[in-house]
Each structure stands twice: as structure tokens, then as C-alpha cells.
């Protein structure tokens, strides 16, 4: 039996897949990609004769059966997933049937759309003495949230919050953020299809007006929502600087300079 690799394709730009991911795609005898989310361009490194299939119409059972079937024929089989395989994917649900079938597997990390969205907007997830914490979450919809993980509860920390799979719930986002102590004039960022060549959209607004701005841009899917006290820091007149590069700060690679 061959080995099944779960490879993170990154946020959309084919160049943002890892070098290891590219190598494995070239070596693969079979690739199953998430066509509803992963750009087909991510299969451009596949070798001639590689068996390529799109999983967008498949059930979980269909996917695992396909992977097991291909592992019987090829040394390297790839499940190509959007972003990072371990974040909002069915990774464990797919690994368990492979384990039961005695098929070896491994996971290759990918760039998350949360990182790509902030990069696209030239924003920072963290800033010294502003926030040092990032929360990845989603707003409760058809999938319930575990106890203690509602947006209202998480938002009380006033840290950077990246919301996946929630763009159709902006009314609820506003309601929960306001209940947590945020304000209507606080900044919020929405990035649709972060890094996708020719398809990326960046919308900046406030908690009060972001829904209307997204409607005007016809953004209703595949979008990251970010609320953070760091948004817009590039234009701040005063900014706390990192200690790492402070001349008066000693670390193992550099001694602090003496005061004159």
C-alpha cells in the first residue's frame, strides 16, 4: 500500500503552497483536491499521467474510499486541502479510516487564509502592548459551538479575532461584538479569496457598516472577517516598538548598548 499525504494548499495563490507540497504533487500518482475551495491551479505541478479528481461532490465516505483505492495502486497519494489541513477541515475523520485500513499517512502544513488576509491588507495580527493573542473561531450557524466558545465570550478578551465561515452572519457578528463591549465605530476587515490571483477583494469598515460594504461588493462566501485593536496601526502617530530590536534590550544574540 502507498502513503496518503494530506497537503495544505494554502489560501489560494498557487505560489503559497509549501516547497514540500509542490514536491509531493510532482511525485504523486493520484491527487484528490477540494475543488470548491482549492484553485485547480494548485494541481499544475502534477506529473503527466497522474490521476486527478475533484472532491466537491463527494461525501466523507466517498473521499476515504477513493484515497484507500488509490493507495493500493500508487506509492504517493495526495489529499489537497485548502489552507492548513488541521484548521476547519475533516482531517481526523479522514485519518481514522486510513488507520483502520493500515495505510500510512502524513500531514503537510499549509498557509492559513487568516495569515493571507492580514498580509493582503498589510496588517499585523499582534502588536506590542496592544494585543499578543490571536483567536481563530467561527460564528455559530448550523454547526453549534462548544460551551464557552461563543463569539460574545471570546470577544470579551479584546484581542485579534479571525472569523472563518461566517460572512453570511455579519448581523450576528455585530450583535455579539457589541454585547462583548466593542463599539460600532471599531474597525473591522473582510478579505474575500485572500491571495487568489485576480479574485481577491479587501473591504475595510466599521462594525456598524461592514455588512453594507460587503453587500455592495457582492461578498457572500469564502471571506475572512478580522476584528482587532491592531487594525489601522500603520497610520498611528505613536507605536510601541518591539523590545527585540530595541538598542537597550539584551538578548542572546546582542548586548544592549551603553547609555551615553
- Would you state the pLDDT for residue 255? 72
- Asked whether residue 258 is domain-assigned, the answer is no
Show which of 72, 93, 108 is a domain's final residue: 108
Last residue of a domain, one of 54, 85, 108: 108
Average pLDDT over residues 8-14: 93
Regarding whether 103 and 124 lie in a shared domain, the answer is no
Q: Find the CATH number of the domain harbouring 172.
A: 3.30.950.10
User: Over 60: is that where the pLDDT of 85 sits?
Assistant: yes
> Is residue 39's pLDDT more than 70?
yes
pLDDT band at 97 (very low <50, low <70, confident <90, very high): very high
Instruction: Please give the pLDDT value at position 260.
Output: 46
Give 89's contacts (C-beta < 8 A, 6+ positions apart): 81, 82, 83
| H-assigned helices in 74-191 | 91-100, 113-120, 151-155, 170-179
Whether residue 104 sits in one domain with residue 161: no
Asked whether residue 243 is domain-assigned, the answer is no
Q: Clarify whether residues 96 and 148 are in a common domain.
A: no
- End position of a domain, from candidates 41, 76, 108: 108
Q: Domain tally for the chain?
A: 2
Residue 148 has pLDDT above 50, yes or no: yes
91 and 183 housed in the same domain: no
Span 210-227, mean pLDDT? 97
Closest by Cα among 43, 98, 92 to 66 = 98
**Are 57 and 168 in the same domain?**
no
Q: Is residue 192 within a helix (H) or strand (E), and if so which, with residue range? A: strand 187-192
Residue 94 and residue 130 share a domain: no
* Domain membership of residue 188 as a residue range: 113-235
Query: Which sign, positive or negative, has the C-alpha torsion 245, 251, 252, 258?
Result: positive
Whether residues 32 and 77 fall in one domain: yes
Interstrand relation of 201-206 and 134-138 (parallel, antiparallel or unpaired): unpaired
Residue 27, domain CATH: 3.40.1010.10
The alpha carbon torsion through 242, 244, 250, 252 (nearest 10 deg) reads 160
Residue with cell 448550523: 142
**Domain assignment present for 248:** no
Residue 147 lies in a domain: yes
Same domain, 15 and 34: yes
Mean pLDDT, residues 228-234 taken together: 97
Amino acid at each position: 500500500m502507498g502513503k496518503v499525504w494530506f497537503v495544505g494548499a494554502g489560501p489560494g495563490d498557487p505560489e503559497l503552497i509549501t516547497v514540500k507540497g509542490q514536491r509531493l504533487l510532482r511525485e504523486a500518482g493520484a491527487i484528490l483536491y477540494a475543488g470548491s475551495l482549492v484553485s485547480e491551479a494548485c494541481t499544475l505541478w502534477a506529473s503527466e499521467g497522474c490521476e486527478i479528481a475533484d472532491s466537491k461532490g463527494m461525501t466523507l465516505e466517498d473521499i476515504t474510499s477513493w484515497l484507500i483505492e488509490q493507495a493500493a495502486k500508487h506509492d504517493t497519494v495526495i489529499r489537497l486541502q485548502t489552507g492548513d489541513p488541521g484548521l476547519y477541515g475533516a482531517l481526523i475523520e479522514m485519518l481514522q479510516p486510513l488507520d483502520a485500513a493500515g495505510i500510512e499517512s502524513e500531514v503537510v502544513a499549509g498557509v492559513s487564509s487568516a495569515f493571507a488576509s492580514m498580509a493582503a491588507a498589510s496588517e499585523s495580527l499582534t502588536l506590542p502592548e496592544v494585543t499578543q493573542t490571536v483567536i481563530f473561531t467561527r460564528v455559530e450557524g448550523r454547526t453549534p459551538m462548544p460551551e464557552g466558545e461563543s463569539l460574545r465570550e471570546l470577544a470579551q478578551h479584546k484581542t485579534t479575532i479571525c472569523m472563518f465561515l461566517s460572512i453570511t452572519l455579519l448581523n450576528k457578528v455585530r450583535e455579539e461584538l457589541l454585547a462583548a463591549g466593542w463599539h460600532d465605530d471599531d474597525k473591522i476587515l473582510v478579505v474575500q479569496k485572500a491571495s487568489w490571483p485576480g479574485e481577491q477583494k479587501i473591504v475595510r469598515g466599521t462594525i456598524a457598516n461592514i455588512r453594507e460594504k460587503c453587500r455592495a461588493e457582492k461578498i457572500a462566501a469564502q471571506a475572512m472577517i478580522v476584528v482587532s485593536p491592531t487594525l489601522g496601526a500603520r497610520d498611528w502617530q505613536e507605536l510601541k516598538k518591539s523590545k527585540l530590536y530595541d538598542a537597550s534590550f539584551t538578548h542572546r544574540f546582542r548586548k544592549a548598548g551603553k547609555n551615553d
